[in-house]
Amino acid sequence: MRPTPKYAALVVFGIAALLATLSLLDVAADVVDGTPARASTPPAPTDPVAAVPPPAPEPAPLTVLDESPRTDAPLPTPGHGRILGRIRGHGGQELAGATIVLHDGVTGRVTRSDGDGAFAFTDLEPGAYQVRAFEPGHAPFIGAGKVGAVTVRAAETRAIGLHLRIGRRVTGIVVAKDGATPVPGAEVTLADPALGSRVTTRTAGDGSFALDRVPVTYDGSATQPVLVRGDGFAPMLVALADTARGPLRIELDRGTRLHGRVTNGRGGPVRNARIRCAFRHDGFARVTHIESRTDGAGYYAVDHVPAGLVAQVWAHKPGYRSTFMNLILGDDAGQKLVPPLELHEKSNASKP
């Protein structure tokens, strides 16, 4: 029996109603608290780094204290002043036995902190001083410019606080100028223009090195000098930037060979005279020396002198007046002949 058109229309309408009902049930199943789950935005994942609050800024390396640390330091004598202070380490703990240096630009005075981190410098001449502090396990503090400067007046007590930091780690490699040959056993020194070495180490067999507890600069220079010396190579000074990232690569060359002769006032040779070649790297106050001696005929040679610098060649021998000569070394000078150096006998010296 064939269905009538009216019956077919009812079947189609029933099927459509059933599908609509199923669709509503499906949506209802996805609704939570009246909000369609499919339309909600998933929560952003938690950032473990952002969740950690930033560390509190460390105190300044040198601060002026409102009150003087308790100390039994004597009062200054008339016309003099004194500095009282306390030194703390990373985390704020008081440092016992730390070394504190007070420098007036010519000479320095040294003291150590007591069990409470207190220290004192008494009977100071009025004037400006630079403060430096050293303690194992912390980066040294080297005052420079306005940072680390303390002015003392007559009959005055200045109270200061020092705060040492951990510092950072600097790695690198020292190779020959060919770029491929490592230089083992080279001395790598984070140098201070006034006091000499701060942090020093030696390269491993593959030329690599690591300097720990390297301080950041406080004087705004943003660079620190690193002096590198290897056997058979000219010493080299490189600038370490506070912003440097990644290992340093330092290439050493053989330098310049200086040779010449030392004679007496009569033109004869001066045997076994001490030859000292003195030079200073640009921006570095400390003078470096390389020494040699004359042979039986008065000749000498000084190897591995850095090129591109001004050097002084001195000749010394007991019974003679010392003499020297200034030299300008070119960047490409492999060897340089020094004009003869004359040593003249002192009036009371016997002839050689």
Q: Looking at the structure, tell me whether residues 264 and 198 fall in a common domain.
A: no
Q: Looking at the structure, tell me whether residues 151 and 226 fall in a common domain.
A: no
Asked whether residue 109 is domain-assigned, the answer is yes
Pairing verdict, β 141-142 and 127-134: antiparallel
49 pLDDT more than 70:
no
Q: Looking at the structure, tell me whether residues 274 and 286 fall in a common domain.
A: yes
* Single residue among 115, 146, 163 that ends a domain in this structure: 163
Beta bridge partners of 62: 162
pTM: 0.59
Asked whether residue 24 is domain-assigned, the answer is no
Instruction: Give tens-digit pLDDT for 104-137.
Output: 888 889 999 999 999 999 999 999 998 988 888 8
Q: Looking at the structure, tell me whether residues 248 and 260 fall in a common domain.
A: no
Q: Looking at the structure, tell me whether residues 341 and 285 fall in a common domain.
A: yes
Q: Looking at the structure, tell me whether residues 182 and 239 fall in a common domain.
A: yes
b/e sequence 267-279, b meaning 16+ C-beta within 10 Å: eebbeebbbbbeb
pLDDT of the residue at 261: 96
Provide the residue range defining the domain that includes 316: 256-345
Residue 289: pLDDT band by 50, 70, 90 thresholds? Answer: confident
Asked whether residue 214 is domain-assigned, the answer is yes
Q: Looking at the structure, tell me whether residues 119 and 156 fall in a common domain.
A: yes
Asked whether residue 52 is domain-assigned, the answer is no
Asked whether residue 74 is domain-assigned, the answer is yes
In the 3-class helix/strand/coil scheme, how is 197-259 assigned residue by residue? EEEEEECCCCCEEEEEEECCCCCCCCEEEEEEECCCCCCEEEEEECCCCCCEEEEECCCEEEE
Instruction: Give tens-digit pLDDT for 292-340.
Output: 999 999 999 999 998 878 889 999 999 999 999 998 887 766 788 999 9
Taking the C-alpha atoms of residue 66 and residue 204, their distance in angstroms, rounded to an integer, is 49
Instruction: Give tens-digit pLDDT for 87-111.
Output: 999 888 999 999 999 988 888 899 9
6 pLDDT more than 70:
no
* Single residue among 252, 275, 297 that ends a domain in this structure: 252
Taking the C-alpha atoms of residue 222 and residue 324, their distance in angstroms, rounded to an integer, is 37
Q: Looking at the structure, tell me whether residues 132 and 217 fall in a common domain.
A: no
Q: Looking at the structure, tell me whether residues 68 and 128 fall in a common domain.
A: yes
More confident residue, 350 or 249: 249
* Single residue among 252, 269, 288 that ends a domain in this structure: 252
48 pLDDT more than 70:
no
Q: Among 197, 218, 352, which Cα is nearest to 288's? A: 197
Average pLDDT over residues 55-64: 67
Q: Which token pair is 227? A: 């002096």
Structural domain tally of the chain? 3
pLDDT of the residue at 34: 46
Question: CATH code at 305?
Answer: 2.60.40.1120
Q: Looking at the structure, tell me whether residues 265 and 328 fall in a common domain.
A: yes
Q: Which token pair is 21? A: 């009902």
Average pLDDT over residues 229-258: 85
Asked whether residue 57 is domain-assigned, the answer is no
Asked whether residue 41 is domain-assigned, the answer is no
Asked whether residue 282 is domain-assigned, the answer is yes
**Average pLDDT value for the chain:** 79
pLDDT of the residue at 295: 96
Q: Looking at the structure, tell me whether residues 280 and 324 fall in a common domain.
A: yes
The answer to whether the CB of 102 falls within 8 A of the CB of 109 is yes
Q: Looking at the structure, tell me whether residues 269 and 289 fall in a common domain.
A: yes
More confident residue, 50 or 347: 347
Q: Among 350, 352, 272, which Cα is nearest to 316's? A: 272
pLDDT of the residue at 208: 95
